[in-house]
Chain A
């Protein structure tokens, strides 16, 4: 325990020494100050004492407390903490492991009575202090702003702390492994950003191909329904034709006159049915393709950490626990365009249901932490076996 405390105290000194840590903290303060400066009233958006007419943001549309919670989750966490502060954090912590394994300093650590695995994991945890302190300070300040300005003291906001920490730990694990293996700060920085880019691509790909799949499913289902409808009409018409023919055979001249017209209509319906059937076959093919591509993306996404989906969990928690009313998903433009192709209402309902079933919190956190455990396992295995 004494050793662990010493390593953490030392890590705190290291943080203090890093200018980027303080720069980020000051910027966090400015973001919270900006957060405190804005608000909404009956007219729209307010900035300090100025009011900007913006009906969609007025308290008639969104209650003041929800406005702050939504701004906190979307802008404060979603953009500031999950993007800008993370980028600064990853640049700032990139040297932790390369410095740690540098000849001359690693000898001093390994010659102490502490196991290599424990040493590695403690060092890894100290690396998370950067993100931990930033998110804690930011969330605490935001909690105060929302409480004082919005009048809602919402403890669920603090879910942001573990969520952002878990999100950061996915990336920091990769950075630590690269730093440990290569001993290079530049490789750590480039490597982790490249990884983040790939992960983002896969997540976006998974989301878009899921939307494509859902769109195709809706299209195919509608087509099948239409074909069934056509089939039933053809059946009814065929029955009517048989009845007419029987009547005509019985000497009904009026019925006999209607037969050619009904036969033409039936031919036409059968042709349309045939065309629809061919179209359905093509659409099923497209559906299968979209299922297959989405399946591959989903497998890849399952294997990799889900960075943005982890951050999005904050909104889900705030929605479920703090009554946050958020705009209907999906937020991605491309996904929305798919929705427009088949009609928003059903698409959004189906898309949301798919997300809930295949992208649930357990799947998001479980598979992401599984990936992190694998990366850390590899890193610690390498660290334990390596000669310095």
Chain B
């Protein structure tokens, strides 16, 4: 499968007059002083009605990419669209919600004022702002704290209010940078529920997070960014399909046969003494039936049989490790010259 152009089913089909992609990026590049290449030709698509996760080690360019989408950072080169309009189109931002990493609300604002101010800046009328502030404070569990100054909030409370502020304009695209940073496990679950609600409303949630387990739980699709490039993109199912296999633990020593009906099998001594583990590189249950029959014919006891696939963390680690050296790729923006066409801008 081509990892970068997978086509998973959309969580929620786009309406007829709206483009399919909420985020459709092509050849997004960012160089600093022409020497440091933070982004090196990003190709990325996130659909409406899906939660899209952006992963990557520190310095991979995740925040830069998000900031380019939100016009906070100017790209060196960028093609593509946000909600069907070219990147940088100002009016489109009216339909976008954003929670930056380590965001800072002014200390003199209350939670409610922060939400209402965000709404006013997104051109939401005052009455709607007030109504939405009430609804959203309730949604993020901050109703009792809405009229208190944000300077009295904990990190988790600030994140909750930040998410509410990002949603006050009923956005079609919500970009959240580390939304669960500093939030306790209960809060994280609440935030996950909120994200699902936003997605179910038909909006696209673009999530930037280090917490792979969090992303794995909610994301429909993910992209892995390494050294300013998209290393992989697709549904977790698709990205891990190549690694899907069955592991069969049986009694006795490893068998002397290594394939069955063309299916390659590796075996090694099991973790428990007197057992062996066979690994069949297939995701199809019917393909391992012959193996089970053969094992029974050999009077072996089948101790366990389990389908195995990579976790998102395994997948992530695979991409961020250099296959040649086996070590993690150097974090940070690339300073090397890029040989490919037009990359040295």
The answer to whether B108 and A16 touch across the interface, beta carbons within 8 angstroms, is yes
- Residues of A with C-beta under 8 A to B94: 113
Stretch at the interface among B44-52, B118-126, B183-191: B118-126
Q: How far is the CB of B196 from chain A (nearest CB, A)?
A: 23
> Is A190 interfacial (CB 8 A cutoff)?
no
The answer, among A2, A17, A99, for a CB contact under 8 Å with B120, is A2
Evaluate whether A108 and B100 lie within 8 angstroms (CB atoms) in the complex, with A14-B106, A388-B67 already known: yes
A281 surroundings in chain B (CB, below 8 A)? none
Contacts of B126 in A (CB 8 A): 2
Cβ contact within 8 Å between A104 and B104: yes
- A13-B113, A112-B93, A387-B72 known; A107 vs B120 contact (CB < 8 Å): no
Could you tell me the distance between the alpha carbons of A115 and B103 in the complex, rounded to whole angstroms? 20
* Alpha-carbon gap, A150 to B102, bound state (A): 58
Partner among B67, B100, B107, B121 whose Cβ is within 8 Å of the Cβ of A6:
B121
Whether A112 contacts B73 by the Cβ 8 Å rule is no
Which residues on A sit within 8 Å (CB–CB) of B113?
10, 13
With contacts A104-B103, A111-B98, A112-B93 known, is A3 near B67, CB below 8 A? no
Query: Which chain B residue lies CB-closest to A106?
Result: B72
Cβ distance A92 to chain B, nearest Cβ, rounded Å: 13
Shortest distance from the beta carbon of A327 to any chain B beta carbon, whole Å: 46
**Contact partner, B102, options A6, A103, A111, Cβ 8 Å:** A103
Give the interface size class of chain B. Answer: 20 to 34
The residue on B at minimum CB distance from A13 is B108
Q: Do B72 and A102 have beta carbons less than 8 Å apart?
A: no
Tell me if A104 and B120 are in contact (CB < 8 A).
no
Among B71, B92, B107, B118, point to the contact of A108 (Cβ < 8 A): B118
Would you call A107 and B121 a contact (CB within 8 A)? no
Asked if B319 is an interface residue, CB under 8 A from chain A, the answer is no
- Chain B's nearest CB lies how many Å from the CB of A359? 42
User: A103-138: which residues lie under 8 A (CB-CB) from chain B?
Assistant: 103-115
The answer to whether A107 and B123 have CB atoms under 8 Å apart is no
Question: A113 is contacted by which of B67, B90, B109 (Cβ under 8 Å)?
Answer: B90
Known contacts A5-B120, A10-B109, A111 near B71 by CB under 8 Å: yes
Knowing A6-B117, A387-B74 touch, does A108 contact B103 (C-beta < 8 A)?
yes
Closest to B38 in A: A387
- Is A385 at the interface (CB under 8 A from chain B)? yes
Q: In the complex, which residues of chain A have a beta carbon less than 8 angstroms from the beta carbon of B121?
A: 3, 6-7, 109, 112-114
Query: Are the C-beta atoms of B70 and A110 separated by less than 8 Å?
Result: yes
Contact, CB under 8 Å: B122 / A113: yes
> A309 to B186, alpha carbons, bound, how many Å?
63
Query: A16: which B residues are within 8 A, CB to CB?
Result: 108
Is B164 at the interface (CB under 8 A from chain A)? Answer: no
Among residues 80 to 110 in chain B, which have CB atoms less than 8 Å away from a CB atom of chain A?
90-94, 96, 98, 100-109
Q: Nearest chain-B residue to A107 (Cβ)? A: B100
Mask of A1-23 contacts with B, CB within 8 angstroms, 1/0: 01101110010011011000000
B-side contacts of A114, CB under 8 Å: 90, 121
Given contact pairs A14-B108, A115-B90, A388 touches B123 in the complex (Cβ within 8 A): no
Inter-chain contact B108/A17, CB cutoff 8 Å: yes
Contact (Cβ within 8 A) A110 B108: no
Given contacts A16-B108, A107-B103, A114-B90, contact A388 B73 (CB under 8 A): yes
B-side contacts of A13, CB under 8 Å: 106, 108-109, 113
**B 45-76 contacts with A by CB, 8 A:** 67, 70-74
Give the docked Cα–Cα distance between A14 and B105 (Å). 12
Contact B93 A111 (CB under 8 A): yes
Q: Beyond A104-B100, A105-B106, is A2–B72 a contact (Cβ under 8 Å)?
A: no
Beta-carbon contact of B91 and A113 below 8 Å: yes
Closest Cβ of chain A to B4, distance in Å, is 27
A135 to B72, CA, bound (A): 36
A107 to B96, alpha carbons, bound, how many Å? 13
Residues of chain B lying within 8 A (CB to CB) of residue A99 = 106
A111 contacts which chain B residues (CB < 8 A)?
Answer: 70-72, 93, 96, 98, 100
CA of A104 to CA of B159, assembled, Å? 12
The distance from the CB of B63 to the nearest CB of chain A, in whole angstroms, is 9
When chains A and B are docked, how far (Å) is the Cα of A3 from the Cα of B120? Answer: 6
Distance between Cα atoms of A2 and B120 in the complex (Å): 6
Tell me which residues across on chain A come within 8 A of B165, comparing CB atoms: 108
Q: Mark A327-363, 1 if CB is under 8 A from B, else 0.
A: 0000000000000000000000000000000000000
Task: List the A residue with the shortest CB-CB distance to B72.
Answer: A110
A108 contact set on B, CB distance < 8 A? 98, 100, 103-105, 118, 165
Q: Which residues of A contact B104 (CB under 8 A)?
A: 102-105, 108
A302 to B106, CA, bound (A): 39
The chain A residue with its CB closest to the CB of B98 is A111
User: In the complex, what residue of chain B is closest to A105 when comparing beta carbons?
Assistant: B104
Of the listed residues A6, A115, A388, the one surrounded by the most CB atoms of chain B closer than 10 A to its CB is: A6
Q: Is the CB of A110 within 8 A of B71?
A: yes
Shortest C-beta distance, B62 to chain A (Å), equals: 14
A16-B108, A113-B122 in contact; A107/B90 too (CB < 8 A)?
Answer: no
Complex CA–CA separation, A106 to B126 (angstroms): 23
Chain B residues with CB under 8 Å of A105's CB are 103-106
Complex contacts, A6 vs chain B, CB 8 Å:
117, 120-121
Chain A residues whose CB sits within 8 angstroms of the CB of B122 once the complex forms? 112-113
| Pairwise interchain contact A3-B102, C-beta atoms closer than 8 A | no
Instruction: Kindly name the residue among A2, A99, A102 whose own CB sees the greatest number of chain B CB atoms within 10 A.
Output: A2
Chain A positions within 8 Å of B, measured between CB atoms, are 2-3, 5-7, 10, 13-14, 16-17, 99, 102-115, 385, 387-388
Task: Identify the 10 closest CB pairs spanning chains A and B, nearest first.
Answer: A6-B120, A17-B108, A104-B104, A107-B100, A111-B70, A112-B121, A113-B93, A111-B98, A387-B73, A113-B94
Inter-chain pairs besides A10-B109, A107-B100, A108-B165, 7 sampled, C-beta below 8 Å:
A5-B120, A13-B113, A99-B106, A107-B72, A108-B103, A108-B104, A111-B96
